[in-house]
Structure 1
Amino acid sequence: MELTLTTPALLFPAISLLFLSYTNKFLALASLIRTLHGDYIKDPGNQVIKKQLENLGRRMKLIKHMQGAGIMSFILCVVDMFLLHLGQQWWAFLIFGLCLAFFLLSLLICLTEIKISVDALELQVEEMKH
């Protein structure tokens, strides 16, 4: 199978949209952390706020890792196109596989972050029930 420049180029818009989504997640978390910080200062004994802050800490780490994996995917995509430009088909094929692996890793980490986010919302709903 021969790889052409257009194959890795197809990933550019997908990776760009992924980063837009990750940036939105990051900004939403930053806003929420600032709000919860103010609430925590007012009531440091509130266990729900403590649990939410722990949850947000885990989510921030996951966002950092999913952005890192996405950046690696993007870098490998550019390297892949350079290798194709040089006529290095075998290396380009290998690097494209790595690019896809990092892209998949980024998506899997995102899936984990979404699950934690849903858990946090369920905790909030439980608190409102009581």
Structure 2
Amino acid sequence: MRWSDVNACGMVGDAALASCVDEARAAFCLRLADLSAAPSGRRWSDYALLTTRQHIDFLHPLRWRSEPVEVSLQVLRVRPAVTELLAEVTDAVRTYASARVTSVFWDVRRSRPYLLTPAQHRLLAEHALPGAPAPPRRTC
């Protein structure tokens, strides 16, 4: 947490916690994009992960401190071009915020959803919440 994330009462603002969730999602997406080469000689900048819905429950107030908080991500559901993630902002004692984020994998050049590669499906499966349905297999 940055000092600028704190309000006059010494609490980390809700917008700052939402930014933490978004930064973790972005880092996860970069890892997902780097797993395999872009199809047909295209660049990964031709693709985006669009957040279509984000619902955050702010569970406990978070006071500024020098110790970091952790943002964990788990996959709740995967469709051929859509994923739903569970993100939690926690420390060793409690969960401060819990978010459900639905995102669409988007082909920027074609302006349509992008179907996930088998390597991307495997990465999503590694981060699936226990008991979550397995990502569907893509067949040609």
What TM-score, normalized by structure 1, do the two folds share? 0.30
What TM-score, normalized by structure 2, do the two folds share? 0.28
Give the structure, 1 or 2, with the largest relative contact order (CA under 8 Å, sep 6 or more). 1
> Rg bigger for which structure?
1
- Structure (1 or 2) with the greater helix fraction: 1
